[in-house]
A and B are shown apart, each in its own frame.
Chain A
Amino acid sequence: MDIKVLIDYLPLYKEALLLTLKIGWLGILAALVIGIAGAAILHFKIPVLKQIFGVYIEIFRNTPLLVQLFFIYFALPKIGIKISAEMCGVLGLGLLGGAYMIETFRSGLESIAKIQTESALSLGMTKGQVLVHIILPQALSISVPGILANLIFLLKETSVFSTISLMDLMFTAKDLIGMYAKTIECLFMLVVFYLIMLLPVSIIGSIIERRVRYAEFGD
């Protein structure tokens, strides 16, 4: 391995990492918003919206992100919907992640026994109080492992952005291999940069996961 090559490539990979992070976190933010809204809609069984979200979840959970991105980026412009590559990445990741986040949040909400709501109501709490003080703290703590797993999954999925010519880590590595054939160095940097991006999330995640366990009731 040639150290000089690694140093030469460093700025390029740094640039790519920043782009990946930018799109990744925007997409994840969108996914969280969709997830919370969707979970609430499904939990409170709001008519019409409930069906729409049901179909949305099935479609996006059962197709690969790569195909979704190709559709958004290459197919939609043909019917007049033009979206920049970056927006397309955020949108694709947000829609995919949203479908997963809804299920995660919902399973948290549903894991709270009905008797708890009933007991709280009979103690004289209002519905809002029940939600804020009883249901949400428990539901969120139960959802945390799932949310963290989704976070890592979505950050990993950003690797397909290179196919819609976003200059992310994957794109940079492939490009450099193609130009200078320093395969080992390029792959090494690729692994290192993905570790930089994902290892902290994984470690912090497992710490948080251990902490929120205390919030669970009983068991």
Chain B
Amino acid sequence: MQSLGIDVLFKGTNMLRLLQGLWVSVAISLISVAFSIVLGFIVGVLMTSENKIIKAILRVYLEIVRIMPQMVLLFIVYFGTTRVFGWNLSAEVSAIIVFIFWGTAEMGDLVRGSLKSIPVIQYESAKALGLNNFQVYFHIIVPQTIRRLIPLSINLITRMVKTTSLVMMIGIVEVLKVAQQIIEANRKASPNAAFGVFLVVFILYFLICWPVSRLAKILEKRWA
């Protein structure tokens, strides 16, 4: 394997640094997912509301998230806010803001979808039995939607982890950036390091996302 440059990772603390880089993206994803799930629930319930103004605002919000690449949003928040408002957001904070903005819309749409999937007759029957609005949601609707939502939210985690690889573009030192640094530093000693190091990064991402998406799939089958 000498020629393929995987050995570079066993020199000094290289592997450790790579894993630390990976942790940066995973940490950003986990923080963003946690907020997105909570906020997404609120947005999802609001989306089922009949109020025209709320509906219109949420439609615009969803459409922005649907159309704008996350990278563009990252640039706007990181470079744009400094210019316009004079805020000095760190790259990490900008990234978390963008991913919460994105994740909330995604989660909101999932929540709306699963709320809509409960037949109207269930709301009506529950009301006919004398339950009030809160009881209808708490005892009838939410337990059913949660089962559908858990696998979908787990999927959101893997998508979040995959998307956070973009943060290197606004200068956060995450796994790809560390990989580049390692390759750069060993340019002379092992010119083929790019192969080994990027292969390892590829595998690391797979090892994180694959088990999580398997879990989501299994739960989806069991609870469907």
Contact = CB atoms under 8 A, between A and B. Distances in A.
Interface of A: 58-59, 61-64, 66-68, 70-71, 74-79, 152, 156-160, 162-163, 170, 173-174, 177, 183-184, 187, 190-191, 194-195, 198-199, 202
A16 to B, nearest CB: 13
Given A70-B176, A202-B67, 18 more contacts: A61-B213, A62-B158, A62-B162, A62-B209, A62-B210, A64-B205, A67-B198, A67-B201, A71-B199, A79-B4, A152-B66, A156-B70, A159-B71, A160-B71, A183-B83, A184-B84, A190-B72, A202-B66
Interface stretch (B74-82, B86-94, B115-123): B74-82
B203 to A, nearest CB: 9
A173 B75 contact: yes
Nearest to B198: A75
Interface of B: 4-5, 63, 66-72, 75-76, 79-80, 82-84, 158, 162-163, 165-166, 168-169, 176, 179, 183, 191-192, 194-195, 197-199, 201-202, 205-206, 209-210, 213
Given A75-B195, A75-B198, A187-B79, A64 B71 contact: no
A64 B213 CA distance: 14
B194 A183 contact: no
Contacts of A78: 4-5, 191-192, 194-195
A158 B179 CA distance: 22
A58 B80 CA distance: 37
A58 B206 CA distance: 9
Contact of A74 (B84, B166, B198): B198
A183 to B, nearest CB: 5
Nearest to B79: A183
Contacts of B71: 159-160, 170
Contacts of A71: 198-199, 201-202
Nearest to B209: A62
Contact of B169 (A157, A158, A163, A183): A163
Contacts of A194: 67-69, 72
B37 to A, nearest CB: 21
Given A64-B205, A156-B69, A184 B195 contact: no
A110 to B, nearest CB: 13
A64 B76 contact: no
Contacts of B165: 64, 66-67
A190 B75 contact: yes
Q: Is the interface of A mostly helix, strand, loop or mixed?
A: helix
Q: Which of A152, A162, A174 has the most CB of B within 10 A?
A: A174
A157 B69 contact: yes
A67 to B, nearest CB: 5
Contacts of A190: 72, 75
Contact of A177 (B5, B68, B79): B79
B72 A63 contact: no
The 5 closest A-B pairs by CB, nearest first: A159-B69, A62-B209, A78-B195, A75-B198, A64-B162
A160 B75 CA distance: 13
Contacts of A152: 66-67
B18 to A, nearest CB: 13
A151 to B, nearest CB: 12
Contacts of A174: 75, 169
Contact of A198 (B67, B202, B205): B67
A195 B168 CA distance: 24
A165 to B, nearest CB: 13
Contacts of B4: 78-79
A32 B205 CA distance: 25
